Structure 1
Amino acid sequence: MDFDRMPPDWPFRERARRVASRPHDWCLIDEGAGPALLLLHGAGGSGHSFRHLIPLLAPRYRVIVPDLPGQGFTRSGARSRYGIDAMAEDLVTLCTTLDIAPLAAIGHSAGAALALRLTDFMPLDGVAGINAALGVFDGAAGVMFPILARVLAVTPFIPHVVARLWGNPATVAKLLTATGSPLDAEGQAQYLTLVRDAAHVDGTLGMMAQWRLDDLMTRLPEIVTPTLLVASGGDLAVPARISREAAARMPAADYAEIPRHGHLVHEEAAQEVAALLLPWLAARAGG
């Protein structure tokens, strides 16, 4: 999706900017002042998903929200770098280009796994995960889903087919409802914009095809970076037990659960998420 085609009413459009940092041409939101925070969206989303959380963090922090490579409005310079390690390396390069040393990384879903992986590549005072996608598919799905994603990612015209077949309001509404987060009309329209774009679909499929969490999951007990894992009780995509069990394996992790809302809790109930994040961030920043 080309930056020039960003809809005029896209969240934080006026604060979005291009940053060339090899190998990608990043689109990111840069808002606020103070210690830097890096916000990382999940697979199939974009930085827009933090639209309600950014205003709650920006009064105290400089909030950097990139679209991940190939997704949203970031133009990928290397389709082979959609895996978790390559993305972590490229995010470190982006931070160097921006001349920032983030205080913490906050990730949603797969972005939470990416934030945790960053602890091996750069110093962070904290990592927060929102409905962190740290589990694996059970049974045959654990084998077949990655294989199917790899096949789709390298099949010509598949992104265009997916964008055409799924890029309608009814399908997007069903997809969001299946996560436990139906969202309002505005939120649904924003995801419809993403689903209708073949380049975004291609980047999402590429990420799914290259995503491997085995090493990260093995290393969870070795991650000593202070971590907060926030889950929501109504998440139908990544059950709350995933974050609860991951936190139990980590020596410096705290777990918090919001009893309602679905996978996109930071879009449905940003105030509740911020109420957990802000005191935790203040502790990382020394009060």
Structure 2
Amino acid sequence: MSALNWEREGRSWPNREHSRFIYADGLRFHVQQMGEGPVLLLLHGTGGSTHSWHAIIPRLASHYTVVAPDLPLHGFTGGEPVSSRASLAGMVRSLAALIDTLDAKPAGLVGHSAGAAIALELARTGVVNESTPVIGFSPALTPFPGAAAQIFPGLARLLLLNPFVPKVFAGVSRFAGDPKRFLQRSTGSQTDPTSLACYAKLFANSHHARGALAMMAHWDLNTFSKGLSGISNPVLLVHGRSDQAVPLGSVEGAAAKLPNARLDVWENLGHIAHEEAPQRAAAVIAQFAEAHIQGAK
């Protein structure tokens, strides 16, 4: 079981010419970097990869150095699906090491779904300055409601213990036939053909599936959400009203806990709203960054 093969699945990867591989915290990270200026770090969510930002990165690169890694256990980044890698603390540690290795301290953080939680934890733990703006698209910042908060992580842990389950997940997705319909049902979003082709490759890879399961198994949003009130960074949360994965109420609750947060709700868009409306997403990122980053254009 291995990460996706760069010379096979990665041959037509979007923005491939801006990809490189960096060793940090014992991992071989796949990183895309484009542009010059203040550094913006873009973090995808569970089950995603750099492709999630493929239409946004070029739009920001005229004024920023845009850095977008595949998270540990995801896409073309390696790693074993153990708690020290897959937990929020593990992700933050590995990304902090990557930032140091690149010598690219972010002037702004952008995250999608679980990536938004990672971005906020980077802020809370002092990896970036208190003035560093954080933008979260469809942010997954609070536990599942009710009994699901205990059931889903426990179920993911049980599935993770069975070495055949990720292969079954990958096999089912490979033969299910229609990633477009699957994404629409699970996220409430419709994305472009480039992203759909990438999702099809990701869903068919058992290492990637195991990495996503490991994140779900070891994620502790209950503890994380209790620390939101201690994050003073300027925060913009963007949520699609049609999101089928993260309830709007949970994002409203998170925004209320953050001392310096604003919530924008986008109509008729789902969980991957930034992929559905990349031009709008890039404009929002640029506007918020310009307002809070010294020297930003």
TM-score category, normalised to shorter length: over 0.9
In structure 1, the partner of 2:95 is 91
Q: 2:50 is matched with which residue: 26, 47, 55?
A: 47
1:107 aligns with 2:107: no
Instruction: Indicate which of 106, 116, 132 corresponds to 2:139.
Output: 132
* Structure 2 equivalent of residue 270 of structure 1: 278
User: TM-score, with normalisation over the residues of structure 1?
Assistant: 0.95
Matched, 1:116 2:120: yes
Give the whole-Å Cα distance in 2 for the aligned partners of 1:140 and 1:78: 25
Residue 166 of structure 2 is aligned to residue 162 of structure 1: no
Asked whether 1:30 is paired with 2:66, we answer no
**2:15 aligned partner:** 12
Identity of aligned residues (%): 39
Match of 2:252 in 1: 244
AA partner of residue 232 (structure 1):
G
Deviation at 1:234, TM superposition (A): 1.5
SS of the equivalent of 1:39 reads strand
CA contact (8 A) 1:169 1:189 kept: no
Which residue number in structure 2 is paired with residue 152 of structure 1? 159
What secondary structure is seen at the aligned counterpart in 2 of 1:251?
Answer: coil
> What residue in structure 1 maps to residue 182 of structure 2?
175
Structure 1 stretches of 5 or more lacking a match? none
Confirm or deny that 1:73 pairs with 2:81: no
Question: Helix, strand or coil for the counterpart of 1:162?
Answer: helix
Distance apart, 1:10 and its partner CA: 1.0
| Offset from partner CA, 1:216-263 (integer Å, 9 cap, x none) | 210111110111111111211113332222112211111112222111
SS in 2 for 1:221: helix
- 1:186 maps to which of 183, 194, 199: 194
Q: Secondary structure at the match of 2:152?
A: helix
Q: Which deviates the most, 159-168 or 26-35?
A: 159-168
Question: In 1, are the aligned partners of 2:29 and 2:77 still within 8 Å (CA)?
Answer: yes
AA aligned opposite 1:92: A
Do the aligned residues in 1 keep the contact of 2:81 with 2:214 (CA within 8 Å)? Answer: no
Aligned to 1:59: 62
Q: 1:267 to 1:209 in 2, by over 3 A?
A: same
CA shift at 1:78, angstroms? 6.6
Matched-pair contact (CA < 8 Å) for 1:22–1:77: no
Count of aligned residue pairs for this structure pair: 287
In 2, are the aligned partners of 1:195 and 1:201 still within 8 Å (CA)?
yes
Return the offset for 1:283: 1.5
- Measure how far apart 1:171 and its partner are: 4.9
Task: Look up the match of 2:208.
Answer: 200
Unaligned runs of 5+ residues in structure 2 are none
TM-superposed deviation, 1:88: 0.4
When the two chains are superposed, the root-mean-square deviation of aligned CA atoms in Å is: 1.6
Q: How does 1:203-218 map to 2 (within 5 A)?
A: 203-218=211-226
Letter in 1 for 2:286: L
Deviation for aligned residue 1:214? 1.8
Find the residue that maps to 2:20 and give its secondary structure: strand
TM-score of the aligned structures, taking structure 2 as reference length = 0.92
One-letter amino acid matched to 1:123: V
Give the residue type in structure 1 aligned to 2:104.
I
Name whichever of 47-56 and 135-144 sits farther off: 135-144
Question: 4+ runs of 1 displaced by more than 4 Å?
Answer: none
- 2:113 counterpart of 1:141: no
1:193 is displaced (CA, Å) by: 0.5
SS in 2 for 1:129: strand
Task: Tell me, yes or no, if the aligned pair for 1:41 and 1:110 is still in contact at 8 Å.
Answer: yes
